[in-house]
Structure 1
Amino acid sequence: MGEESFFVALESALRQNKVPYGDMRWLRRRLPEQLTWMLQFARADADSGLESLIRLRMHRLGVTMRSQVSIDGVGEVDFVIGDRLIIEADGKENHDDDPTRPAPPRSRRHKDLLRDARAAARGYETLRFDYALIVHDWPVVEAAILAKVAEGAHLRDSLRPIAA
């Protein structure tokens, strides 16, 4: 099914403790040489296939991301680039509330916006992408992240006020 599908499945299997060490050696012997780096790059902390996909694609572009970062007053975020650029991957289930159920007191979307506001108050900037963007409109996601990195939004010293 391709390199990306393999990587997503590998990280999912690692997350679920379904790949013992011996199986990693077995995989290494059977993978094409150009893909064996993925075995070392793969992690067991990806909460979703979307996160695996983002991290793989950004790695290929030379962008380093820290995964599952805990931020005081905000909680755990999917990724942080540099000092202060948060990247969040929202799966379908995160915002597609079931219309047949009564509305929760606070929607998932509201909770995400509240987290983003708390992060902003602490000097972070958040880029949030949903399933459709990541899977079907990746060039838009890539351009947004790379533009923020190019302007230095990920660096602590970029907190200087912007002149009007």
Structure 2
Amino acid sequence: MTFADMLATAQHSAVHLEMRDEYTPDDPAYLRWKADGTIDVDAYWREWLDLAGATIARGVSIRRARIISEPVTDFVRHEYDLTGPLNLAAGESVRWLPRRQASDLTLPGNDFWVFDDHLVRFGFFSGIGDYLGEELTDTPAVIKLCLSAFDAVWERAIDHADYRPA
């Protein structure tokens, strides 16, 4: 099952926790932003905008929380700049949690998505942010851990409209 299939078949919710400060360092959209500050959703992110938009239009809630170090990295600043025209435009809800406010939270070791409270997709990345693959699980204890972690982060995190990167 592809990621697009998982999102396309979600019935109620999809939550995503991101905990890294660097992702995909060779991503063309990121490199263009670094070069000239340009955000071109249509050129690089149309597929996500369409998929997320269609998912949300079916009544599925997509929430994304990001735990970030401050001062933020260039990549996180890029994500911040992209959040409005991409994630919020698609209908996602996005919150930011400075890492110093997450020290007492129990968190899984990797970023994850949870679909409809019954399937977890872990994403694996190298130290510099290259994507290495994924793992799916429907193990109840893992689902419970991920949902508990996401809810704890979400409760503390700052809504995108109110967060300003340090």
> Please, what TM-score do these two structures have when normalized by structure 1?
0.28
More relative contact order, 1 or 2 (CA 8 Å, 6+ apart): 2
The structure with the largest alpha-carbon Rg is: 1
Higher helix share: 1
> Please, what TM-score do these two structures have when normalized by structure 2?
0.28
